[in-house]
Chain A
Amino acid sequence: MKRYRRIETERASLSDSEIAQLKPSFSTMTGRMKQMPAITAGPPVRYIVTAVVGAAVVAVLVVFYYLFIAGGSHINDDATPQLAEDITERRISPPDPARIDYEYFRVTSGERAVLTTKKGSRIMVPPGAFTWADGTPFTGSADLRFAEFHDVVEIFLSGVPMTYDSAGVNYTFQSAGMFDIMAFSSGNSLILADGKEITIDIVSNDPDLYNLYYFDTVVNHWQYLSTEQPGDVVPYSGRDDTRRPESGQRRISSEAAGELLAEGGLSQKQEPLPEASPEKRFKRRDSRNFAFRIDFDEKSFPELSGISDLMFEITDDSVEKKYLRGTWDSIALDRDAEQGYRISLFRLRSSYTFNAQPVLNAAEYDAVVESYRNAAAQREQEMAERRSNAVAQRAVAQRMDANMRNWAYSRSISVVNLGTWNLDIPIPMPENATVIAAVFKDAKGKAIYPQSVFVAQKDVNILWNYNPSQRVLYSQSRQNIMWFLMTDGNYAIITDTMIRSREKTLVPDIFDADQALAEIRKYI
């Protein structure tokens, strides 16, 4: 048997830097080119040579085929089956848009904003960051929508394709974190102004340096921008108070989450309640008692102000009536320690002081009491709301603390476009990949033909995605989980055990979305 070539499998490929050392400079190439004769024979000559060689190979092949392969079949081009070509359609199409955890912020156009997300990532928006889509300047308040995707489940729910072509080689992204950032005003899109950048410190648990890509929705393809430098990835310092939203930024609460971060609610100055209720301060006037009116400064006694017919009765039994006769030069009103009032009379070198109580006629008394009770009830309601808000704030802060505690690193990215950005390493295929050669059937034995199959492995942040014409691969050295969406919105999950059984027919477990996503999270 003739051997046409010798195949080796034990050689590592060269790195780009190693290739660069072997690569001649372009000037060397142009120098050599000038020494070459001009090309006059074109491709047809080569095709003729190739055809002759090919014919010889075919002849050898025919001999080899009849010598070693029994029952060879005749090639009949007319009976060719139409096999599907590999298709990689790249568009953002979330499987369930409602499950994307968007956060909303409001920023004022002329002010710098520092925003902190629920997961602890930070967004720094410079003043004048936005313009309208046609480039006209934007003023006012902008609504910023932000979502970040860290694990395989979140990436899956984002619907963002993770495939990437480079020089004819298909890759899938291993992600260190992805985010989507958009800005709107009154429902209209905004864009970043020329020369403006938004800096995002995105949380991460991966210390390696990744490439930065931007998803170009015009061509529906990832565009490589740059590679992270060592200083771009730093230990996460989420407990720093400066990472809280600055005053002036307002988080718009998400209705789905039902959270409220009321800015400034607890710090608003409240009007103090009167120290005593009207029943203690005032008394219904008794016409049998001696009562008198005095002039006083209402600003000094606001609790007595606004009452049309305020009089005082003496509450001190020891008062001698002789002191109430005659003319006094001046009268002073004071509060005493027991929340009553003291009236002092002055004449030349003498004075006389006694306790008194404000008294009101019946109608006035009832009105004051009613007003006080209403104010007290409203105050109690406000206090209850503030207590509830404080509880909610503490819960959110605790959740933020818990989220922040999960992250080891923070990676700083400056973006000049709104949209979807990703930190990735392109991976050519799963390590130790093996083809899953099986058909899917439901519990009743009916065949299932999924349009898109997803595979993930434990501890690797890669979401593999296969179309019907592609071979589905799994990793032999890692725990795998495979899933696809059914037409009824449920998920079909194939576990690692099922995959490794190498059965020709696989009957997946069917879950609703919540259960399925929880199952996938358990695996990854």
Chain B
Amino acid sequence: METNARSIAQSCDADLIIKAQADIKHFEPLYDRYFNVVFRFVHQRMESSDDAADVTSDVFLKAMSGIVTYKITACPFVSWLFVIARNEVAGFYRRKKTEQRYYASQEGMERIAGDIDYEVSQSYFPLKRILELLPAKDFELIDLKYFNSKSIREMSEITGMNENRIRVKLHRIRERLGKMIMARSGELSSLMRVLAVIIVCNLIISIS
């Protein structure tokens, strides 16, 4: 259910967008309003703050260059910025040809852990490892939902996916994560058992 605040924000943005399309100097309030939130989104995906600032600037350059073709719709302007941002981040890593980084907040990890019934008192390592193995599209949904607290509607606006489809995918991803983490915990348990057997055997051999 869309709040009236969202409508008010959108109508405020719409006024500025219309003016910015006529004269780019009117883009400045939008730049000031959304720079920090876009920066944080990008910085989550960058090792260096300077790289994050560069990519964020590129996001806004693209937005300023493309503002004349931007159509004011029910989708908020900030969601459009996030679409540009995720593309710019992907482009950054394509050019750099380095491994993608992601800086996950502890709160987000706890939210995921809670949803897949993973005991938080344990190490995050298994959960981190499994998230690292998630394909980009699946991880993107996890990222938007748990690390950026986006609503289903916002996720739909950013990813371009249908809302129901997002709900189903999230449901399935959570199920899969739960199974994967159990399997991983099982693997670790098995490994621990194997190691324990080896140690005991060595002890027996040394004693005899």
Contact = CB atoms under 8 A, between A and B. Distances in A.
Interface of A: 1-9, 11, 13-14, 16, 18-19, 22-24, 26, 29-30, 32-33, 36, 38-39, 42, 46-47, 50, 53-54, 57-58, 60-61, 64, 68-69, 73, 75, 77, 80-83, 85-90, 165, 167-170, 218-221, 428-429, 432-435, 437, 471, 473, 476
Contacts of B50: 22
Given A13-B105, A80-B164, 7 more contacts: A4-B134, A9-B106, A26-B28, A33-B24, A57-B137, A167-B36, A219-B7
Contacts of A6: 99-102, 132
B100 A4 contact: yes
Given A57-B136, A170-B149, A435-B115, A23 B39 contact: yes
A471 B115 contact: yes
A8 B65 contact: no
B24 A80 contact: no
A58 B101 CA distance: 21
Given A14-B43, A22-B49, A29 B57 contact: yes
B47 to A, nearest CB: 8
A445 B151 CA distance: 34
A39 B31 contact: no
Given A46-B87, A83-B167, A5 B139 contact: yes
Interface string B1-44: 10111111000000000000000110110011011110110010
Given A69-B180, A75-B168, A434-B110, A90 B102 contact: no
A168 B168 contact: no
Contact of A82 (B124, B137, B164): B164
Q: Which 10 A-B pairs have the closest CB atoms?
A: A435-B114, A221-B5, A22-B53, A5-B100, A167-B37, A219-B4, A57-B135, A26-B28, A80-B168, A39-B66
Nearest to B169: A75
Contact of A87 (B1, B6, B78): B1
Nearest to A89: B1
A11 B104 CA distance: 8
Nearest to A83: B167
A463 to B, nearest CB: 19
Chain B interface bracket (under 10, 10 to 19, 20 to 34, 35 or more): 35 or more
Interface string B113-140: 1110100100010001001111111110
Contact of B172 (A3, A75, A435, A437): A75
A9, A68, A428, most chain B CB atoms within 10 A: A9
Contact of B39 (A7, A19, A219, A473): A19
B193 interface: no
Contact of A16 (B36, B102, B154): B36
B34 A167 contact: yes
A473 B149 CA distance: 14
Nearest to A430: B107
B39 A38 contact: no
Given A19-B36, A471-B115, A165 B3 contact: yes
A434 B167 contact: no
A19 B103 contact: no
B168 A77 contact: yes
A429 B107 contact: yes
B88 to A, nearest CB: 11
B37 A80 contact: no
B61 interface: yes
Contacts of A83: 167, 171
B15 to A, nearest CB: 16
Contact of B25 (A30, A50, A437): A30
Contact of B5 (A8, A54, A219): A219
A53, A75, A83, most chain B CB atoms within 10 A: A83
A221 to B, nearest CB: 4
B73 interface: no
A9 B165 contact: no
Interface in B52-104: 52-53, 57, 60-62, 64-66, 69, 78, 87, 90, 99-104
A36 B67 CA distance: 14
Contacts of B171: 81, 83
Nearest to A90: B3
A58 B3 contact: no
Given A22-B49, A168-B78, A428-B107, A476 B132 contact: no
A465 to B, nearest CB: 15
Given A29-B60, A69-B180, A221-B8, A433 B111 contact: yes
